[in-house]
């Protein structure tokens, strides 16, 4: 392909709304162009890379035995009503009506759609297992679309769904997909780590997210470098011991703390460390107030709290409710003697046995000193659990070594769904005794467009993108320095043809531009291999070949007739 025959726009300036490097480079290198917030057009270069990522995903899915289909984006509301998700998906789902007032959604995912399909096609155990997948555009009205393709309103997802006869068979499929995912991301040039994640409304279901570690990642991940434990902070636990009883409890005492509400304010007012404080927050779990107490220097993990309470919904209580159940406004509430004596109180495990703590007095402007949680509150042993967000320095729940926290970009997720959807749809098969049995499901998502950008976030430098050969828009860029000299053009054309004959894709920068401009653009777009073909070079012995990832000093001068073989080796390596 000749540069002058394609449509490439590179930009010198970063887009105004870009916060992270990969977003800046996506736009500057002419991979995508923004239409509006969370909506992007894939330009010719971007389309080539996107198709390469898709091809890798498709190849691995096919090899894993999954069957490709494509289902409508426009999904009738009845499907979603069958599982109740028409109401519970909330504002994230784009809903619309057709001219006949029939309600529908732009698919944010497709569990309902695929279960409805399988219910009507599968009748016997002989047809199972079966795994179906599609690579289809998804729509989510994200609260905060940002970071380019990372969190957009319209994005390309590979979504796969497996159907098995029982949980044991479903487990086997799960791991087949898990390993396919490892290969997919490795082939895209990414190091993606599987981490344990929370099963969401699917309860304790097993699920792994695949994360590309990067400071720009939106998720926090707890890691143990000693044993390999890795979990999303939503799910991560720590080995926590009850508070050591190193001191004896003092007399409880009321202290006036005017205008000091936050832990920081109260601790600086009293001149004590924040860990001596108990942070007390009132939540509404399924509409009923509950107080949760954690050490003053730690944060409540809403996901773990919700699971511990067995609640379907969980949110912070409003000011009025806080006042009603405690007798004070937020900032002065605590576990000792709240005005509502039936208020359920729960606490983080590290507070079990804690003495001499400072808590809100349930009276505006006051705190209590020397609180012994056992002596002075209604907390019983069963009310303590691991309820805080794991932090660096916590103890690994598996091996007891120290946890570190990293940031990750979620590029994929594998999930055991059990029978949640198949029960709702009554998707059953007949076993060999002709009894009806509910099909057991799994689902498997890859953010194809997010993966494309994750490659850039993972692999770039100050000059631009560094594409791995597998997903580079063109694997080779020939910078043709003297497009007006027939001899030089001939060498370039022959090399282009020789590379294409080897199945390597090439772009020839044949623009009437200065070499500096061509080198800058080649670096910005980041084609895997750069070849310089120019009159001066040819008289000095040949063409110059270098990987984008290599320093200039590594440039090889190669005879034109050897160049294709050298480049092929570089790409393979």
Partner whose footprint covers residue 142, from Mg ion, ligand ATP, none (CB < 5 to 8 Å by kind): ligand ATP
Q: How far is the CB of 84 from ligand ATP (least distance, A)?
A: 17
In this structure, are residues 272 and 371 in contact, taking their beta carbons and an 8 Å threshold? Answer: no
Residues 499-538 that bind ligand ATP (CB under 6 A): none
Q: Pick the binder of ligand ATP from 110, 193, 285, 411 (CB under 6 A).
A: 411
How open is the CA angle 101-107-109, to the nearest 5 degrees? 145
Burial of 143 (0-12, 13-18, 19+ CB in 10 A): exposed
Nearest CA to 389 out of 312, 295, 272, 314 is that of: 295
Q: Pick the binder of ligand ATP from 109, 115, 422, 472 (CB under 6 A).
A: 109
Backbone angles phi, psi at 359, to 5 degrees: -135, 160
Q: Under the criterion CB under 6 A, does residue 326 sit at the interface with ligand ATP?
A: no
Q: How far is the CB of 197 from Mg ion (least distance, A)?
A: 7
Token duo for residue 475: 């694997």
Q: How far is the CB of 207 from ligand ATP (least distance, A)?
A: 9
Q: Under the criterion CB under 5 A, does residue 115 sit at the interface with Mg ion?
A: no
Nearer CB in complex with Mg ion: 109/350:
109
Judged by CB under 6 A, which stretch of 44-52, 315-323, 384-392, 447-455 contacts ligand ATP? 447-455
Backbone angles phi, psi at 102, to 5 degrees: -80, 130
Nearest CA to 522 out of 460, 462, 561, 464 is that of: 464
User: Looking up tokens 């508070």, which residue turns up?
Assistant: 243
Give the contacts of 10 (CB within 8 A, at least 6 positions apart).
28, 29, 30, 521, 524, 525
Q: Under the criterion CB under 5 A, does residue 451 sit at the interface with Mg ion?
A: no
Q: Under the criterion CB under 5 A, does residue 413 sit at the interface with Mg ion?
A: yes
Which residue lies nearest Mg ion, judged by its C-beta? 413
Give the contacts of 420 (CB within 8 A, at least 6 positions apart).
83, 202, 441
Q: How far is the CB of 174 from Mg ion (least distance, A)?
A: 15
Partner whose footprint covers residue 277, from Mg ion, ligand ATP, none (CB < 5 to 8 Å by kind): none
Nearer CB in complex with ligand ATP: 190/361:
190
Residues 481-510 that bind Mg ion (CB under 5 A): none
Partner whose footprint covers residue 207, from Mg ion, ligand ATP, none (CB < 5 to 8 Å by kind): none
Rounded CA gap, 451 and 149, in Å?
9
In this structure, are residues 232 and 199 in contact, taking their beta carbons and an 8 Å threshold? Answer: no
Nearest CA to 236 out of 405, 355, 75, 356 is that of: 405
Nearest CA to 65 out of 202, 200, 177, 223 is that of: 177
Show the binding pattern over residues 112-151: x = contacts ligand ATP (CB under 6 A), - = does not: ----------------------------x-x--------x
Q: How far is the CB of 82 from ligand ATP (least distance, A)?
A: 19
Q: Under the criterion CB under 6 A, does residue 458 sit at the interface with ligand ATP?
A: no
CA–chain centroid gap for 168, Å, is: 28
SS3 147: coil
Q: Under the criterion CB under 6 A, does residue 386 sit at the interface with ligand ATP?
A: no
Q: Under the criterion CB under 6 A, does residue 447 sit at the interface with ligand ATP?
A: yes
Q: Looking at the DSSP assignment, which residues form a beta bridge with residue 68? A: 133
Q: How far is the CB of 290 from ligand ATP (least distance, A)?
A: 26
Rounded CA gap, 63 and 65, in Å?
5
Q: How far is the CB of 213 from ligand ATP (least distance, A)?
A: 15
Q: Under the criterion CB under 5 A, does residue 162 sit at the interface with Mg ion?
A: no
Q: How far is the CB of 142 from Mg ion (least distance, A)?
A: 13
Nearest CA to 390 out of 531, 202, 198 is that of: 198
Token duo for residue 324: 């009603």
Q: How far is the CB of 159 from ligand ATP (least distance, A)?
A: 7
Judged by CB under 5 A, which stretch of 85-93, 387-395, 405-413, 557-565 contacts Mg ion? 405-413
Q: How far is the CB of 430 from Mg ion (least distance, A)?
A: 34
Q: Under the criterion CB under 6 A, does residue 152 sit at the interface with ligand ATP?
A: yes
Number of neighbouring beta carbons within 10 Å of residue 483:
20
Question: In the complex, which residues of this chain contact ligand ATP (CB under 6 A)?
Answer: 109, 140, 142, 151-152, 155, 157, 410-413, 445, 447, 449-450
Question: In the complex, which residues of this chain contact Mg ion (CB under 5 A)?
Answer: 413
């Amino acid at each position: 392909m000749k540069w002058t025959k394609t449509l490439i726009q590179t930009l010198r300036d970063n887009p105004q709304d870009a916060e992270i490097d990969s977003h800046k480079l996506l736009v500057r290198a002419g991979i995508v162009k923004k239409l509006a917030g969370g909506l992007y057009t894939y330009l010719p270069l971007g389309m080539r890379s996107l198709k390469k990522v898709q091809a890798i995903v498709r190849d691995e899915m096919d090899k894993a035995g999954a069957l490709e289909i494509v289902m409508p984006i426009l999904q009738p509301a009845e499907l979603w009503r069958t599982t109740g998700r028409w109401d519970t998906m909330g504002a994230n789902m784009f809903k619309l009506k057709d001219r006949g007032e029939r309600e529908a959604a732009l698919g944010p995912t497709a569990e309902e759609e695929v279960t409805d399909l399988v219910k009507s096609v599968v009748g016997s155990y002989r047809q199972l297992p079966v795994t179906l997948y599609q690579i289809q555009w998804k729509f989510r009205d994200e609260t905060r679309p940002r970071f380019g393709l990372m969190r957009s309103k319209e994005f390309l997802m590979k979504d796969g769904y497996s159907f098995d006869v029982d949980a044991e068979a479903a487990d086997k499929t799960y791991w087949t997909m898990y390993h396919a995912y490892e290969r997919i991301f490795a082939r895209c040039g990414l190091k993606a780590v599987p981490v344990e994640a929370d099963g969401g409304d699917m309860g304790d279901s097993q699920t792994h997210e695949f994360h590309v570690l990067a400071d720009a990642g939106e998720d926090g991940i707890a890691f143990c470098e000693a044993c390999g434990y890795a979990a999303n902070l939503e799910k991560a636990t720590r080995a926590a011991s009850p508070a050591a009883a190193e001191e004896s409890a003092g007399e409880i005492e009321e202290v006036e703390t005017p205008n000091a509400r936050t832990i920081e304010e109260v601790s600086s007012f009293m001149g004590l460390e924040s860990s001596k404080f108990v942070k007390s927050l009132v939540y509404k779990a399924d509409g009923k107030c509950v107080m949760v107490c954690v050490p003053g220097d730690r944060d409540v993990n809403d996901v773990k709290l919700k699971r511990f309470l067995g609640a379907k919904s969980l949110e912070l209580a409003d000011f009025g409710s806080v006042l009603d159940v405690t007798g004070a406004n937020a900032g002065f509430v605590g576990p000792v003697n709240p005005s509502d004596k039936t208020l359920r109180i729960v606490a983080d495990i590290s507070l079990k046995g804690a003495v001499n703590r400072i808590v809100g007095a349930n009276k505006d402007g006051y705190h209590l000193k020397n609180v012994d949680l056992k002596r002075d509150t209604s907390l019983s042993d069963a009310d303590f659990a691991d309820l805080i967000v794991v932090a660096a320095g916590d103890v690994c729940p598996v091996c007891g070594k120290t946890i570190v926290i990293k940031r990750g970009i979620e590029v994929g997720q594998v999930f055991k769904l059990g029978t949640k959807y198949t029960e709702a749809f009554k998707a059953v098969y007949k076993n060999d005794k002709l009894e009806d049995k509910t099909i057991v499901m799994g689902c498997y998502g890859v953010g194809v467009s997010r993966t494309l950008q994750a490659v850039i976030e993972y692999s770039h430098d100050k000059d631009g993108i560094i594409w791995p050969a597998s997903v580079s828009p063109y694997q080779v860029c020939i910078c043709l320095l003297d497009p007006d000299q027939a001899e030089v053009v001939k060498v370039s054309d022959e090399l282009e043809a020789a590379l294409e004959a080897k199945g390597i894709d090439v772009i020839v920068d044949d623009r009437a531009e200065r070499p500096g401009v061509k080198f800058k653009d080649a670096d910005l777009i980041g084609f895997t291999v750069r070849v310089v073909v120019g009159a001066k070079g040819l008289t000095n012995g040949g063409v110059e070949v270098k990987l984008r990832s290599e320093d200039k000093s590594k440039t090889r001068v190669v005879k034109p007739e050897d160049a294709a073989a050298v480049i092929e080796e570089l790409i393979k390596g």
